[in-house]
């Protein structure tokens, strides 16, 4: 009897350990207000949606904030389990499993109003200095373009300050992110900027799990199911409404 109980106890403890392992996810992201904002109680729009969806399925999570290049590398190589706000590319799909999209980003160019640009397509921007963010997948046409002058930085505010000072002539990014940063850091200058139309791209935003995590597919399936539940019961829309101005 005792010979049977001992292996069963080990099996039970092993199962509990494996269950607990799947319950706490080590997430990583960059500071990306208002989507990811460590200064807020809910830590931003994207974090709030992702964490509440995961909690519905029994997962807890921790969040580490780093620069985007380091955050992306960390989740791709499995130092972290997941990232909460990411765009999908074929390269990233080699190392990550992606959820269903849960938000959409409108990516546009920003300039000073006193700069005249006749913009209809990317070739119209040749000769202008464009501030970009390292590691960001804006869209394939822009990323692969060799005819545009792109100057990389790590943070949105760096590009906005350089644009304000005249060190660059354009920058680009999600309109909600840029407007939030302008109101926070350059409130007296917000009226001096404007977005170019049309938008460069609309990008779906995803939750993604490192393929190094053996439970990656189950985590993604659970997240997708929880997201659908939140969209059906109204909790998803209530979260978004808190971030609309």
Q: DSSP assignment of the chain, as one string? A: -HHHHHHHHHHHHHHHHHHHHHHEEEEEE--BTTTB-TTSTT--HHHHHHHHHHHHTT-EEEEEE--HHHHHHHHHTTSSSEEEEE---HHHHTTEEE----EEEEEEEEEETTS----SSGGGGTTSEEEEETT----HHHHH-SSSEEEEESSHHHHHHHHHHTS-SEEEEEHHHHHHHHHHH-TTTGGGEEE-SS-SEEEEEEEEEETTSTTHHHHHHHHHHHHHHHHHHSHHHHHHHTT--
pLDDT at 136: 81
> Which residues pair with residue 205 across a beta bridge?
103
pLDDT at 236: 97
Domains of the chain in start order, with CATH, are 23-103+203-241 (3.40.190.10), 106-202 (3.40.190.10)
pLDDT at 7: 42
Q: Is the pLDDT of residue 18 over 60?
A: no
Q: What is the pTM of this model?
A: 0.76
Tens digits of residue pLDDT in 26-36: 999 999 999 99
Contact 115, 169 (CB under 8 A): yes
pLDDT at 4: 44
pLDDT at 40: 84
Neighbours of 56 (CB within 10 A): 16
Q: Which is more confident, 4 or 160? A: 160
pLDDT at 137: 76
Q: How many CA atoms, within 13 angstroms, populate the side-chain half-sphere of residue 41?
A: 3
Mean pLDDT in the chain?
90
Name the band, by pLDDT with cuts 50, 70 and 90, for residue 14.
very low
Cα-flanking dihedrals φ and ψ of residue 216, to 5°?
Answer: -55, -45
Tens digits of residue pLDDT in 99-113: 999 999 999 999 999
End-to-end Cα separation, the chain, in angstroms: 67
Tens digits of residue pLDDT in 37-84: 999 889 999 999 999 999 999 999 999 999 988 999 999 999 999 999
Name the band, by pLDDT with cuts 50, 70 and 90, for residue 245.
low
What are the Cα distances from residue 231, in Å, to 6, 53, 120, 236?
47, 10, 36, 5
Cα-flanking dihedrals φ and ψ of residue 199, to 5°?
Answer: -60, 150
Q: Is the pLDDT of residue 1 over 60?
A: no
Q: How far apart are CA 241 and CA 185, in angstroms?
A: 23
């Amino acid at each position: 009897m005792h010979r049977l109980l001992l292996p069963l106890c080990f099996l039970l403890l092993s199962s509990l350990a494996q269950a607990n392992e799947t319950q706490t996810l080590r997430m990583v992201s960059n500071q990306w207000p208002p989507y990811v904002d460590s200064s807020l109680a809910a830590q931003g729009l994207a974090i709030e949606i992702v964490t509440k969806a995961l909690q519905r399925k029994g997962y807890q999570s921790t969040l580490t904030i780093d620069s985007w290049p380091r955050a992306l590398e960390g989740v791709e190589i499995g130092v972290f389990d997941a990232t909460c706000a990411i765009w999908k590319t074929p390269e990233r799909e080699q190392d990550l499993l992606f959820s269903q999209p849960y938000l959409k980003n409108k990516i546009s160019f920003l300039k000073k109003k006193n700069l005249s640009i006749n913009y209809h397509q990317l070739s119209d921007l040749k000769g202008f200095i464009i501030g970009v963010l390292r590691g960001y997948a804006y869209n394939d046409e822009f990323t692969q373009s060799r005819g545009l002058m792109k100057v990389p930085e790590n943070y949105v505010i760096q590009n906005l300050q350089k644009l304000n000072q005249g060190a660059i002539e354009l920058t680009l990014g999600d309109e909600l992110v840029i407007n939030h940063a302008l109101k926070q850091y350059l409130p007296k200058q917000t009226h001096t900027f404007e977005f170019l139309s049309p938008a460069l791209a609309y990008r779906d935003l995803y939750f993604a799990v490192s393929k190094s995590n053996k439970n990656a597919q189950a985590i993604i399936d659970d997240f997708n199911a929880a997201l659908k539940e939140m969209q059906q019961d109204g909790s998803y829309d209530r979260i978004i409404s808190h971030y609309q101005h």
